Amino acid sequence: MDILIKNISTLIQDADHILNDKDILIEDNKIKKIGNILPEDLPSHCKIIEGDRKVVMPGLINAHTHLYQSMLRGCRDDLTLTPWCEKVIFPFIDIVYKDCKKYNAAIGYYWSMLSSIEMIHNGITCCIDMDLNVGGIPKAWQDIGMRGITAFTIANRWVPKEFCHDNNILKEEIEQYIKEWQQDYSDEGLVQVFLAPSTLFCCTPELMEWVVEKTEEYNLGLQIHISETKWENQDALKEFGTTPLEFLEKINLLRRPISAAHCIYLTDKEIDIAARRGVILVYNPKSNMKLSDGIAPIAKMLKKGVTVALGTDGPASNDQLDMFEEMRMGSLLQKVFSEEPGVLSASEIFKMATENGAKAARINAGTIEEGKLADLIILNLNKAHSAPVNKVIQNIVYCGKNTNVETVMINGKVIMEDGKILTVDEEGLTRESIKQGEEILKRIDFNKP
Ligand SMILES: [Zn+2]
């Protein structure tokens, strides 16, 4: 059905273009027209949404996450990356893999649904999810109407042996997954597949090369964690004589579009490589703070012309999927890091959470323009915590919360209206997802020495 959002008080097309008193006509899954649309120009059977005293903006894009970790909120707040993987992440994965083998468990569907419900309330219309490849994850997106990139996580070393499959079996699984889930880039489908070698230290260079060849063959995106810790850089120096991103450049793996999460310890040379090769970096400030990884030099990266997107990372190290909070924390962290309040302005971080996220996800969205995908959200900023509005993007970045998000539209379809998700039984699925997660959590001792 066509949709008209009329009398929009504030229309944020992108961080630099803000219009007042406009209408938007949505036809199928695209934005057809922006302007003042006359009643006689409206198609018959057009749904009308009132935009008076509202803000319409592009949907937020969570450019790096691990949705399975929504089952692991609130577990440990005293560990750095490696012991955190050993004590929090691996025990959970172990149970999930064993259960899935035994019962073909639907747990992936539930964590994906729980996370999607949270993200939609938080105004997130698309995510890049490096997940556990257990099935059911994209099915939840299709049911709820969320756009998602299912990034097949790949590792053949460093992680516990029982998580590593024989390379040939792994390659078969990857190809099968691509064939099952990859949808056309023609904008019709909600789901796309990326390949995600977890890190350089988790994948042999031979496997990395095979992965890049597959992204060429199927025209897929690629996401990887890079330089999240100092240890990772030291390890790469020991094995390859160079830091991780420089090594990927050296063996010509940056020939494909890639996005790289974290990038805290990139050298100046690597920042230049990222700018030159169009590597999109994904800033994950809250997760980096919780695991005390360090602070990515975002201001320096932007100055050098690198495209930076924004992500929550997984909820075991965040512990939310909330891009309003990520924008706020991300901006404030850079100000204190550089001791310059003008660094990483509200507009810059807003762009990272919208336009640049769309680039990382390789989707035709992230700004509100005619011909783009109709992935947008409607905010009511007239609340005690967010009004009066002075500069709209600053109010959104420094005051925005999920209670400001009234309506969420993805692929031209209204998924949430007046704060209520319309596409699934939100209450029932939330209850069932929590129950499924609790059953697994009972079996894990997170304080085991
Ligand atoms: Zn991550």
pLDDT at 145: 96
| Helix, strand and coil percent figures for the chain, each rounded to 5 | 45, 25, 35
Q: What is the residue extent of each domain of the chain?
A: 60-361
The string of pLDDT tens digits covering residues 388-409 is 999 999 999 999 999 999 999 9
Compute the distance from residue 290 Cα to the ligand 1 centre, in Å.
13
State which fold the 60-361 domain adopts.
TIM Barrel (3.20.20)
CA neighbours closer than 13 Å in the CB half-sphere of residue 206: 5
pLDDT at 103: 62
Compute the distance from residue 64 Cα to the ligand 1 centre, in Å.
6
Compute the distance from residue 49 Cα to the ligand 1 centre, in Å.
37
Percent of the chain's residues with pLDDT above 70:
98
Contacts of 248 (CB under 8 A, 6+ apart): 200, 208, 226, 254, 258
Compute the distance from residue 152 Cα to the ligand 1 centre, in Å.
13
Compute the distance from residue 311 Cα to the ligand 1 centre, in Å.
9
What average pLDDT does the segment 217-237 reach? 96
Secondary element (H or E) of residue 26: strand 17-27
Residue 371, Cα to own-chain centre: how many angstroms?
23
Burial of 427 (0-12, 13-18, 19+ CB in 10 A): exposed
Two tokens, residue 234: 């030291």
pLDDT at 340: 96
Compute the distance from residue 359 Cα to the ligand 1 centre, in Å.
18
Compute the distance from residue 101 Cα to the ligand 1 centre, in Å.
25
The string of pLDDT tens digits covering residues 368-386 is 999 999 999 999 999 999 9
Backbone angles phi, psi at 204, to 5 degrees: -70, 150
pLDDT at 102: 64
